[in-house]
Amino acid sequence: MKSKGKVWQSVQTFGRSLLLPVALMAPIGMVMGICNALTQSYMIEQFGWLSNGTLQIILKSLKSITSVIFDNIPLLFAMGVAYGLSKKEKGIAVFSSVVAYLTLNIVMNVYLTVTGTLAPAETMSQLGQGVVLGVQTLRIDALGGIISGIVAAKCADRFYKLQLPLAFAFFSGKKSVPIISFAVMIPIGLVIPFFWAIITKILISSSVILMNKYVGPGVYMTLNRMLIPFGLHHVLSSIVRFTEAGGVYMIDGEQYIGVMNALNQILFNLGPTHEAWNELMPTLSSYMAPAQMLTTLFRIPAIGLAMYHTAFTKNKKVAKGVIITVCLTAFLGNITEPLEFTLLLVSPILFFTYAILAGVMTIPMSFLGIKMGYIRGTIFDFGIFGLLYENTNWINLVLLGLVNFVVFYFVFKFMIKKFNFVTPGREDFELNEDASHLLKEKRYKEIAEIVIEGLGGKANILTVENCVSRLRVDVENPDLINQDKIRESGCLGIFLPSEKHIHVVFGPHVEFVKHAVDDTIKQLA
């Protein structure tokens, strides 16, 4: 049981480590999207002021500058995974991940050269090869970065205190980590090409289901929602976005692996006038921001309204504040966990209904010709990638969203009343306004003190981390956890994915709460 718990925790930690590069891509992608849209000929024709030469130079230059992030996604994943997984020397782990990634690419180049399978430049893209950081190598994209990051993190944790004989003492300790990472990547780089065909077949096999034209978006959305409580939805998203599981696309003779790589090429480089826009964008969009917008802009407000209308009169005022906060968090910030954790806390049946219904109501997207980016499902993304771009069919997204709103509202209103689910505002006792005010007033120190006490005190807390919306805490003794006390902090949800691991949802406040918890623990030392 202990080994299962450790594996589960490792998977969760890995999922969390993927957030760092994705979090970087989201805002830079928005900037890139704006620049790309405003340099399109149809936009210049529509708005004469965009034809200004200096403005166009600035926009095109900014587009080129931001593209460096998307041209180096595997390297970003290597560093992000190394930072997220390493427990001791994170700095040396990140440095070693770069060494590992560079080594991996050159070793695969050597393998291809020696075996006579290094493709000519004109055909390498068709054969799954490409130029990465100046080296022609096997195109394993983000997976290569992830492998490099894992190796570097493990080497850092294992060897950062390595002691060598006196003659080699200079290379002891932290200096040994990049050297060992380099050495470890050599056999890995030689093995990967040998097994790559098998790995690709496995990923493509999952693609048959996940990328199915008729039910794929629905299956993906349901799985994505179901994995949210465990913090593993980022793993699924990354697999679809950056591996063969998300499909392999040929665009102008170039091979693009995964949904996001293909989307980036079409959205930022080719534009709405290219044939790939109509051919591929409807499929790609069904797995990216537009699908998420159905949840953030329509489903969660609908569920929130259903909760408010079913709340008891005495609690409506406080419930209204909580529900509005939850809805705005999703609407403006693409953070859906507060409501999802609320559903899970109220009843697994309610959460399961939400996940299944979300999948079913996503299926029509593939048939509506919606052609939009990007990662996040906020109202800002809708404005940039829906309204600014030509030929996006954003109106179809709105129409589908309104249908989703109506369905979710009536389904959840019916279920809450029928089964008497205790959603916000339906508690037997009168709600305390003080708890909700703690977050509104940003009283993070007080929140931290309450959380620490609720977790069983400083001595019971092993590690405190955070992702986008929740604290992730490992505890020594789960019996000491007082969930009622933790709720006094104003948190938006509590979940225990494993025996000694607890998630406490604070939405966009989470990073500030985490810092306050860290500071308070230090003061108590």
pLDDT, mean of residues 329-355: 84
- Following DSSP, what letter does each residue of 468-496 receive, concatenated? SSEEEEEES-GGG--HHHHHTTT-SEEEE
Structure tokens at 37: 């849209």
Q: How far apart are CA 409 and CA 398, in angstroms?
A: 16
> Do residue 132 and residue 200 come from a single domain?
yes
* Residue pLDDT, tens place only, 203-260: 778 888 889 888 999 999 999 998 887 767 877 888 888 888 888 898 988 888 889 8
Calculate the alpha carbon distances from 70 to 24, 239, 333, 458, 497 in Å. 10, 17, 22, 42, 33
> Do residue 129 and residue 231 come from a single domain?
no
CATH code of 511's domain: 3.30.1360.60
> Do residue 372 and residue 461 come from a single domain?
no
* Residue pLDDT, tens place only, 400-448: 999 999 999 999 999 999 998 878 778 665 555 555 677 778 889 999 9
Give the residue from 238, 260, 339, 259 showing the smallest Cα distance to 298.
Answer: 339
* Residue pLDDT, tens place only, 468-485: 677 888 899 989 999 888
42 assigned to some structural domain:
no
Q: How many residues appear in the chain?
A: 525
* Residue pLDDT, tens place only, 147-166: 999 999 999 999 988 888 87
95 assigned to some structural domain:
yes
Residue 179 has pLDDT above 90, yes or no: yes
- 3-state DSSP assignment of residue 248: strand
> Do residue 298 and residue 402 come from a single domain?
yes
Eight-class DSSP state of 245: G
Domain that residue 134 falls in: 72-204
Which carries the bigger pLDDT value, residue 466 or residue 458? 458
17 assigned to some structural domain:
no
Give the residue from 81, 408, 466, 355 showing the smallest Cα distance to 238.
Answer: 81
> Do residue 412 and residue 334 come from a single domain?
yes
> Do residue 85 and residue 178 come from a single domain?
yes
336 assigned to some structural domain:
yes
Spell out where 192-349 has E strands.
248-251, 254-257
Q: How far apart are CA 414 and CA 493, in angstroms?
A: 23
520 alpha-carbon distance from chain centroid: 29
Of 155, 179, 204, the position where a domain reaches its end is 204
Domain count, the chain: 4
Calculate the alpha carbon distances from 479 to 82, 128, 266, 456, 475 in Å. 33, 52, 53, 8, 10
pTM for this model (two decimals): 0.71
Of 143, 172, 204, the position where a domain reaches its end is 204
